[in-house]
Structure 1
Amino acid sequence: MTKFNLFHSSQGKTLTNSSASSVQEKTEKTAAHHHTKRRASSRRSSYDSAIQGNGVVLAKNERYDAAHHDHAHHSRPASINAPFEDGVVMESGIRGYLVVFGGFLIILAAIGYVSIYGIFQSQYTDIYAAKGASASSVSFVGSLAVGFQFGFTIISGPVMNRFGYKVVLWSGTIVGSLGLLLASWATELWHLYLTQGVMFGIGVSLLNLAATAIPPLWYAKNRSLAMGICFCGAGVGGLVLGFIIPALINAVGIYWTLRIFAIFHFVCTAFASLVMRAPRQLSGPPIDIRKDTINLQILKDPGFMLWFISAALFGFAYVVPFTYVPSYAKDVVGLDPNVQGGQLLSIMSAANAVGRVMIGIAADRIGAIRVATFTFVAAGASCFIWMFSHSYGALVGFAIVHGFFSGGFFTLVASITANIVGLTHLGSGLTIIFLTNTPGNLFTLPIAGKIVDSVGGYKAMVGYNAAMYLGTGLLLCILMFYNHYTKRVDAI
């Protein structure tokens, strides 16, 4: 009897322990389930704010339902899942590389035009000088293109938010290519204003916004490097086109060159429009269209205002050397603007391509604002080499140094803006920064042309260019110390 009681007591303890263990196991499973739900909810919330803040609209076939998240997350290889923000898992891998390549092609064909516009400028000056046009009036063709590239962002931003980035990409492809094609039949200077200026500028604005807004969504750790690879397309485009465009002009003339360039532009940007898209969301409900395109509240941030003014000054600086180096080579050094002038632009563009990638790598390791400050000061200092260049060799030295440092803005604009205002306001920040670039890009070439024609010649014009770069660097230096003083270490 005693044995039975002992056995019964032992069995009771065993059953009790088993029940307790079962209850504990259920409790742990329930807690784990709730923890998983909280993590999924956090991912959805972070993803919503990040994507909506960038103004990117995902098509229905680019969304994963929340119910399929667990299967999608666990069935996909780990190599194509990359962290985005606060644990959100974003699609990456080969699709991310294709997006960067698409951005590279857009920048090559669209922004690369800015690098070689000096060749067109020299041709148009010769053609329309006989009709009484001044150098500043001819340079307004390039100013309109670059001005609309940034100024039309106030329209292209809402268009992307309302209709999606695919509409923006294809619209930019068609409008930009058509502008170049119609320019080939221009007989008056105002024809070029409307076609190669306004139409092409609108096309570039649409394409540039997508190429700037989409790639950062795919990368977190190497975001500046990804943008550097995209925007080195401008340097590569200038390098390639700097040799091809003069050869085409000599072979078939300026107007057939424009037609060939229009076809080249269409092929590059059409391919990019096919492959570029936002990353698929691996969890969360469908993303709603964001209505508030520009959040003006970020203008109350003193740090953003310093970045705002810096970007405005940079707008007066960048395009001047790429436009006036061929003319300087002809008028001051006595070189052929189509041969040696084109070679100088190609050298500057090659250095620009290398510099944009290296600047991106440095920014990911040192800090975007630190690197940008140094590059602007270096670009401004290099203008003094240009000011005292009286030989082809000296101009080559200037082209290498200036080309390497002058493209930092385009590589770092998304990273600096995101560091200051956060990813949730990146779309608004980029729109405002591009808008503030507009006055400088619109008026700097006529100002430079007026300085050359009637004020102080090329030396005064180069001094004006150096002052714009150095002023930009000074303001960024102030921004860097302001962020350090306010303990915003992530925005340095």
Structure 2
Amino acid sequence: MPEGGYGWVIVASCSMIMFFTSGGTYSWGIMQARLAAESIAPNSTLAFIGSLCISFVAFGAILMSRLIRWMGARNAGFVSCFLIGAGQILSSVSVKNVGGLFVTNGIIVGLGTSMSFMLCSTLPSQYFKRKRGLANGAVFGASGIGGAVLSVAQNYLIDSLGVAWTFRIIGLSIWALTFPACYFLKDRLRRATATIEWSLFLDPRFVMLALGSAIGTFPLLVPPFFLPLYTDSLGLAASVGSILLAVFNVSSALGRISFGALCDVCGPITSLSLALIVGALSLLAIWPVSSSLAPLVVFTILNGFGNGGFFSTIPSVVAHMYGPIRVTTVFSMVLTGWAAGYLLGAPVAGWLLDAYGGSGAGIVAYRPAMYYAGSLTVGSAGFILGVRTLMTKRRLFTFA
């Protein structure tokens, strides 16, 4: 297997796509806060739009894997990026209609996000083995950078031009910058047809990985979706919320790259466990006492770092456990299990916030959502540490 060469072109192309794909998801909090300020819909409903979008990554995992195999990497890239850009542009005519936003930014953007995520998560593994973690980390790191840039850009554009024109400019930018990148995409290996390997459910390693990662998706979107609202509750300017969200995304990018590289040093399962532990500590020990800007910045950096590590290590964990040929099938099965967490994780936090008085009740109203997110992250880390234990025992048994 080659280590580099054209693989770095693939990494660069996938990075540009993920810049807008996951980056757009992680900057939704800016739109959510602005739309909530205009009383378009409650916080929990607006959070549900962002959650619906990213939940298509899970709902469509197996279907998108088959479509990518049928169309090829390049065509799949063009289709996915067209849908993401079109959904943003169409959202510009739905800024006063929450139902329209569910269709445009929830479903259309969600379908494109699902295809591009599956494509960019698995394609670099065809070109790398020893440096697979670094390659995946670079690709996922670009999504963190994208979230940071888009958060600041959207806040500026909304102030200057309004929400509708912000959607249009983001959509046109997606088409202009991702289409050239899609041209360079190509498969090195013939992808396995994504299906359901029922025998995997008899493998305790897979079961624990699937359960652990599924539980871990519930809290992932809570901080980026609610940080702008939380800063409003502290009495800080809206620009502070966008800057903190940008800091979160930059930290997430660094976490994706760092934990991706760490996979090549101490193993992907250990790296994933460490990322979850960092996330849990930030949610349970720092955010609940962040009543001023300084501790909130510390929380934002640490949680973004651990959050990014989760995403960049999962593809490497799957490839490490089941090999590059089976990675598409196994990864799509794992992703399918993320549907509930992606769809309900942030809305549940929104419902908890509303139940305890809403964003206008001060930071105390946020604490139930914080503890909900932190406890689930602890549970996720427990399952992944269980996978690590089973893998260690398996190696000992094999060498015995």
The 8 Å contact of residues 114 and 319 in structure 1, kept in 2 or not, is answered as no
Q: Percent identity?
A: 25
Q: 1:290 to 1:371 in 2, by over 3 A?
A: closer
TM-score, normalised with respect to structure 2: 0.93
Report 1:366-381 matches (<5 A): 366-381=266-281
RMSD: 1.8
| Match in the other structure for 2:250 | 350
The 8 Å contact of residues 119 and 342 in structure 1, kept in 2 or not, is answered as yes
Letter in 2 for 1:354: L
Report 1:404-419 matches (<5 A): 404-419=305-320
Tell me, in whole angstroms, the C-alpha distance in 1 between the residues paired with 2:192 and 2:302: 42
Q: Alpha-carbon deviation of 1:316? A: 0.3
Q: Equivalent of 1:189, from 98, 103, 106?
A: 98
Secondary structure of the residue aligned to 1:221 is coil
The 8 Å contact of residues 351 and 404 in structure 1, kept in 2 or not, is answered as yes
Report 1:301-450 matches (<5 A): 301-331=203-233, 333-337=234-238, 339-383=239-283, 384-450=285-351
| Match in the other structure for 1:111 | 22
The 8 Å contact of residues 179 and 199 in structure 1, kept in 2 or not, is answered as yes
Tell me, in whole angstroms, the C-alpha distance in 1 between the residues paired with 2:287 and 2:380: 19
Q: Alpha-carbon deviation of 1:290? A: 4.8
Displaced runs of 4+ in structure 1, greater than 6 A?
none
1:177 is the counterpart of 2:88: no
| Match in the other structure for 1:451 | 352
Q: 1:489 to 1:428 in 2, by over 3 A?
A: farther
Q: Kindly provide the CA deviation profile for residues 68-125 of structure 1, in whole angstroms up to 9, marking residues without a partner as x.
A: xxxxxxxxxxxxxxxx2xxxxx4841x2211001111111111011221110110111
Tell me, in whole angstroms, the C-alpha distance in 2 between the residues paired with 1:271 and 1:364: 30
The aligned length equals 389
Tell me, in whole angstroms, the C-alpha distance in 2 between the residues paired with 1:196 and 1:167: 22
Moved more, 454-463 or 426-435: 454-463
Q: Alpha-carbon deviation of 1:297? A: 2.2
Letter in 1 for 2:338: N
Letter in 2 for 1:135: N
Determine which structure has more spread, i.e. the larger CA radius of gyration. Answer: 1
Q: Kindly provide the CA deviation profile for residues 179-235 of structure 1, in whole angstroms up to 9, marking residues without a partner as x.
A: 110000003100000001110010011111110111111111100000000100121
Letter in 1 for 2:172: I
1:143 is the counterpart of 2:54: no
Letter in 2 for 1:416: V
Q: Alpha-carbon deviation of 1:405? A: 1.6
Q: 1:390 to 1:124 in 2, by over 3 A?
A: same
| Match in the other structure for 1:10 | none
The 8 Å contact of residues 137 and 256 in structure 2, kept in 1 or not, is answered as yes
Could you tell me which runs of 5 or more consecutive residues in structure 2 were left unpaired when the two chains were aligned.
357-363
Q: 1:296 to 1:270 in 2, by over 3 A?
A: farther
1:124 is the counterpart of 2:24: no
Q: Alpha-carbon deviation of 1:161? A: 2.1
Q: Alpha-carbon deviation of 1:236? A: 0.7
Letter in 2 for 1:322: P
| Match in the other structure for 1:225 | 134
Letter in 2 for 1:293: T
Q: 1:256 to 1:375 in 2, by over 3 A?
A: same
The 8 Å contact of residues 279 and 303 in structure 2, kept in 1 or not, is answered as yes
| Match in the other structure for 1:75 | none
Q: Alpha-carbon deviation of 1:157? A: 1.3
| Match in the other structure for 1:198 | 107
| Match in the other structure for 1:67 | none
Q: Alpha-carbon deviation of 1:127? A: 2.4
Could you tell me which runs of 5 or more consecutive residues in structure 1 were left unpaired when the two chains were aligned.
1-83, 85-89, 282-286
The 8 Å contact of residues 192 and 329 in structure 2, kept in 1 or not, is answered as no
Tell me, in whole angstroms, the C-alpha distance in 2 between the residues paired with 1:292 and 1:318: 26
Tell me, in whole angstroms, the C-alpha distance in 2 between the residues paired with 1:325 and 1:91: 39
Tell me, in whole angstroms, the C-alpha distance in 1 between the residues paired with 2:168 and 2:349: 29
Tell me, in whole angstroms, the C-alpha distance in 1 between the residues paired with 2:102 and 2:317: 33
TM-score, normalised with respect to structure 1: 0.76
Q: Kindly provide the CA deviation profile for residues 427-454 of structure 1, in whole angstroms up to 9, marking residues without a partner as x.
A: 1111111111111100112111110001
Letter in 1 for 2:183: L
Q: Alpha-carbon deviation of 1:310? A: 0.9
The 8 Å contact of residues 20 and 174 in structure 2, kept in 1 or not, is answered as yes
The 8 Å contact of residues 26 and 249 in structure 2, kept in 1 or not, is answered as yes
The 8 Å contact of residues 7 and 127 in structure 2, kept in 1 or not, is answered as yes
The 8 Å contact of residues 114 and 322 in structure 1, kept in 2 or not, is answered as no
Q: 1:104 to 1:296 in 2, by over 3 A?
A: same
Q: 1:178 to 1:382 in 2, by over 3 A?
A: same
